[in-house]
């Protein structure tokens, strides 16, 4: 059993959870009165224009409804409610790629959000429930846009700027977006890069729903101006900086965020207003011990759920200062983050294991050059963290004093689910520890039997929670099948995360990784089906199977087993180049193959299903324990193993 690290009490002044007694008390309270406890938290933590009448309506489960009939506003919760007492507090600390920064108060944020909301209503006719696609860099206008949508009740769908024009187009069409907000580009590592050309390409044809494209000028590089384009800065000045709060129903949709599943094309995960904002706000307080006078920095991009919940919605709902960073952690050198921690006196720092591994590798001694004593809590998210990276994070960044919260959650969960609470949970390196109070995370077999201690089982959530995914946009059936089709608990279908996990004798949960056909590259989810569909576009390819292969920095890299129609025609390197060209165009640079081998065939069952698990074992160098007798051609496994080793 590895060492346990207790939280350093000196770091926490009047935390929500002083010790494990506080944690256990709240867990017990939920056990005794599940709905009542959620109801109480919602009453206290959201400004209700009209109180809700029913905490949880499960009539149509898994389409659960929380805080029914309640009227509230996410934009009010995140911005306007702070104005009376703390309007001059800094809401956003924006640091540009070149190191210049802007401190924006809640008063200023409110004005900008209101102007942007007016712009969307007056110039583009955006109404409640219209979809707005946001394809933007990490700049202030991106945040104004998200909050302006929340203010109007328009549903935003942020598409990560690293996705290709084709991926952007797929998402625009699926959401039937009316407006696209983008930028000419931005700066990365001291140089301008472009986004607008990808929007031009995506909207060339087929995006009929799009009426307007609003372009923010950030790098002022030349761009093409098309019929539907207009410029944010030209229209924003004449907008009023007032916008009367509109109150929405608890269950009105707030946003869509596309994420990869084990099959098919990416799915639009839908989150609704009250449940989502409640949990984003509470987890800020519980997990990070975040207070309004703290400076909180989450290094994610707003294109991912981490950016939604812990750059924008959670921090602002909690009235804290959130850092928005345009640049990259390695520019101008691998000390950039630590320089920023020192300069801005950052209290909580939240990042991904892949970034920690990279900064460890490329700048092991950088942290010692800076004063990092403002830090109280360090967080990780997105993938399992390995013990060496954990140790460096704990010692070199946290000076062996900060709690590390290894937060397990997903796009679908909206906020943290299994995670230490910085102020009270004794931590074990590289372990997500305990479910948060109110979250019923269980490690079970598919039939609901508890998995034996320290053995791998399925990580399921057995009770609804407020910030859970409401549906997959436009596809209720897929929602039910994708999440409630695999595991049963107490005789009822329950939410299965797609992850495997183990539980120890103290109830501590260690995440072991995806059990489905999803690859986790640098903390980003990529579906094998999407990659294989793209690979197939190459005429030489007969079939393919891709799997995640352990990678020193990225966690997992993408490895392809390719069957060619005629294997004499192309070298392996040229083939990889060709396939990566397609992947870059279809999905984006995050989906490139690290390596491939050409194989005569794939291990398939007689019914034609590819046994990816065998391929996973091969790339991990693990012995093959699966039964290969059911394969169409059992000899193929040996052949692939030999080819893999040369
Ligand atoms: C998948 C969700 C949650 C925001 C970022 C990713 C993996 C997430 C951890 C963790 C081990 C983790 C899981 C999960 N994951 N956090 N602390 N330890 N694995 O969001 O793109 O929806 O991916 O990321 O496999 O299912 P996402």
Give the pLDDT confidence of 402-422 residue by residue, as tens digits. 999 999 999 999 999 999 999
The answer to whether 144 and 113 are in contact (CB under 8 A) is: yes
Instruction: State the sign of the Cα–Cα–Cα–Cα dihedral 533, 538, 544, 550.
Output: negative
Residue 497, ligand 1, Cβ within 6 A: yes
Classify burial at 567, counting beta carbons within 10 Å of its beta carbon; exposed 0-12, middle 13-18, buried 19 or more. middle
Residue 313, ligand 1, Cβ within 6 A: no
pLDDT of residue 376: 98
Give the pLDDT confidence of 56-111 residue by residue, as tens digits. 999 999 999 999 999 999 999 999 999 999 999 999 999 999 999 999 999 999 99
For residue 273 the two structure tokens come to 């207003």
What span, in angstroms and rounded, lies between the C-alpha atoms of 577 and 60? 49
Tell me the CA–centroid distance for residue 514 and ligand 1, in Å: 9
* 49 to 36, 41, 92, 489: CA distances (angstroms): 20, 16, 26, 37
What span, in angstroms and rounded, lies between the C-alpha atoms of 310 and 297? 8
For residue 182 the two structure tokens come to 């983008």
pLDDT of residue 2: 72
Nearest residue (by CA) to ligand 1, atom 10, is: 408
Residue 514, ligand 1, Cβ within 6 A: yes
What span, in angstroms and rounded, lies between the C-alpha atoms of 88 and 104? 9
The answer to whether 409 and 416 are in contact (CB under 8 A) is: yes
Q: Which atom of ligand 1 is nearest to the CA of 412?
A: 22
Tell me the CA–centroid distance for residue 301 and ligand 1, in Å: 15
Residue 418, ligand 1, Cβ within 6 A: no
Residues of the chain with pLDDT under 50: 1
The predicted model scores a pTM of 0.97
Tell me the CA–centroid distance for residue 487 and ligand 1, in Å: 19
Nearest residue (by CA) to ligand 1, atom 23, is: 410
**CATH: 3.40.718.10, 3.30.300.30, 3.30.420.40, 3.90.1150.10. Which one for 517-645?**
3.30.300.30
Mutating to test ligand 1, I would choose from 382, 386, 434 the residue with most ligand atoms within 8 A of its C-beta, which is 382
Tell me the CA–centroid distance for residue 308 and ligand 1, in Å: 14
Residue 301, ligand 1, Cβ within 6 A: no
Q: DSSP letter string over 112-133? A: HHHHHHHHHHHHH---TT-EEE
What span, in angstroms and rounded, lies between the C-alpha atoms of 271 and 636? 45
**Residue 487 phi/psi, 5° resolution?**
-125, 145
Q: Which atom of ligand 1 is nearest to the CA of 411?
A: 22
Mutating to test ligand 1, I would choose from 511, 512, 556, 590 the residue with most ligand atoms within 8 A of its C-beta, which is 511
Residue 308, ligand 1, Cβ within 6 A: no
Residue 525, ligand 1, Cβ within 6 A: yes
Residue 82, ligand 1, Cβ within 6 A: no
pLDDT of residue 1: 47
What CATH number is given for 91-274+289-328 in this structure? 3.40.50.12780
The answer to whether 157 and 131 are in contact (CB under 8 A) is: yes
* 3 to 203, 267, 292, 391: CA distances (angstroms): 54, 40, 33, 12
Residue 481 contacts by C-beta under 8 Å, 6 or more apart in sequence? none
Listed by start position, the domains of the chain span 91-274+289-328, 517-645
Query: In Å, how far from its chain's centre is CA 568?
Result: 42
Nearest residue (by CA) to ligand 1, atom 8, is: 382
């Amino acid at each position: 059993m590895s060492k346990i690290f207790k939280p350093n009490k000196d770091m926490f002044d009047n935390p929500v959870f002083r010790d494990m007694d506080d944690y256990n008390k709240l867990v017990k309270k939920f056990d005794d009165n599940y709905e009542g406890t959620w109801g109480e938290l919602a009453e206290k933590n959201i400004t209700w224009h009209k109180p809700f009448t029913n905490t949880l309506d499960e009539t149509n489960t898994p389409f659960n409804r929380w805080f029914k009939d309640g009227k509230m506003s996410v934009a009010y919760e995140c911005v306007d409610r702070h104005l009376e007492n703390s309007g001059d507090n800094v809401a956003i600390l924006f640091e540009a790629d070149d190191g210049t920064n802007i401190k924006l108060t809640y008063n200023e944020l409110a004005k900008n959000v209101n102007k942007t909301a007016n712009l969307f209503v007056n110039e583009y006719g955006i109404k409640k429930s219209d979809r707005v696609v946001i394809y933007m860099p990490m700049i202030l206008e991106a945040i104004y846009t998200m909050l302006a949508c929340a203010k109007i009740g328009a549903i935003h769908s942020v598409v990560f700027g690293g996705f290709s024009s084709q991926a952007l187009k797929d998402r625009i069409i699926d959401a039937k977006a009316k407006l696209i907000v983008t930028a000419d580009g931005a700066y990365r590592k001291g140089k301008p890069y472009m986004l607008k050309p990808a929007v031009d390409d995506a909207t060339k044809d087929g995006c009929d729903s799009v009426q307007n494209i609003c372009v923010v000028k950030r790098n002022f590089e030349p761009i093409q101006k098309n019929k539907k384009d207009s410029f944010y800065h030209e229209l924003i000045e004449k907008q009023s900086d007032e916008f009367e709060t509109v109150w929405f129903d608890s269950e009105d949709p707030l946003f869509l965020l596309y994420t990869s599943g084990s099959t098919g094309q990416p799915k639009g995960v839908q989150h609704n207003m009250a449940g989502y904002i409640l949990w984003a706000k509470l987890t800020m307080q519980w997990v990070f011990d975040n207070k309004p006078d703290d400076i909180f920095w989450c290094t994610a991009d707003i294109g991912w759920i981490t950016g939604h919940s812990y750059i924008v919605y959670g921090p602002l709902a909690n009235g804290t200062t959130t850092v928005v960073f345009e640049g990259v952690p390695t520019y101008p050198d691998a000390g950039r983050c630590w320089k920023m921690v020192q300069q801005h006196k950052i209290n909580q720092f939240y990042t991904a294991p892949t970034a920690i591994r990279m900064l460890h590798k490329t700048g092991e001694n950088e942290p010692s050059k800076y004063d990092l004593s403002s830090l109280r809590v360090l967080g990780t998210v997105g993938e399992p963290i390995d013990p060496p990276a954990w140790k460096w994070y704990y010692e070199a960044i946290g000076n062996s004093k900060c709690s590390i919260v290894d937060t397990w959650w997903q796009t679908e969960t909206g906020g943290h689910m299994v995670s230490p609470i910085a102020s009270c949970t004794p931590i074990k390196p590289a372990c997500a520890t305990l479910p948060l109070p109110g979250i019923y995370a269980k490690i079970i077999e598919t039939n609901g039997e508890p998995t034996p201690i320290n053995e791998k089982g399925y990580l399921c959530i057995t009770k609804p929670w407020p910030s859970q995914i409401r549906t997959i946009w436009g596809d209720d059936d897929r929602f039910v099948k994708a999440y409630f089709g695999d595991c049963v608990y107490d005789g009822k279908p329950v939410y299965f995360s797609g992850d495997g996990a183990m539980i120890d004798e103290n109830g501590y949960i260690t995440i072991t990784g995806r059990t489905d056909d999803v690859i986790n590259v640098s903390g980003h989810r990529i579906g094998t089906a999407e990659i294989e569909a793209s690979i197939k576009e190459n005429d030489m390819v007969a079939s393919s199977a891709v799997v995640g292969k352990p990678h020193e920095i990225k966690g997992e890299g993408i490895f392809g087993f390719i069957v060619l129609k005629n294997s004499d025609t192309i070298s392996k390197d040229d083939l990889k180049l060709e396939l990566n060209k397609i992947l870059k165009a279809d999905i984006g640079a995050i989906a490139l193959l690290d390596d491939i081998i050409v194989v005569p065939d794939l291990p398939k069952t007689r019914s034609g299903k590819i046994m990816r698990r065998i391929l996973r074992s091969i790339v991990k160098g693990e012995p093959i324990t699966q039964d290969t007798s059911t394969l169409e051609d059992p000899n193929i496994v040996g052949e692939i193993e030999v080819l893999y080793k040369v």
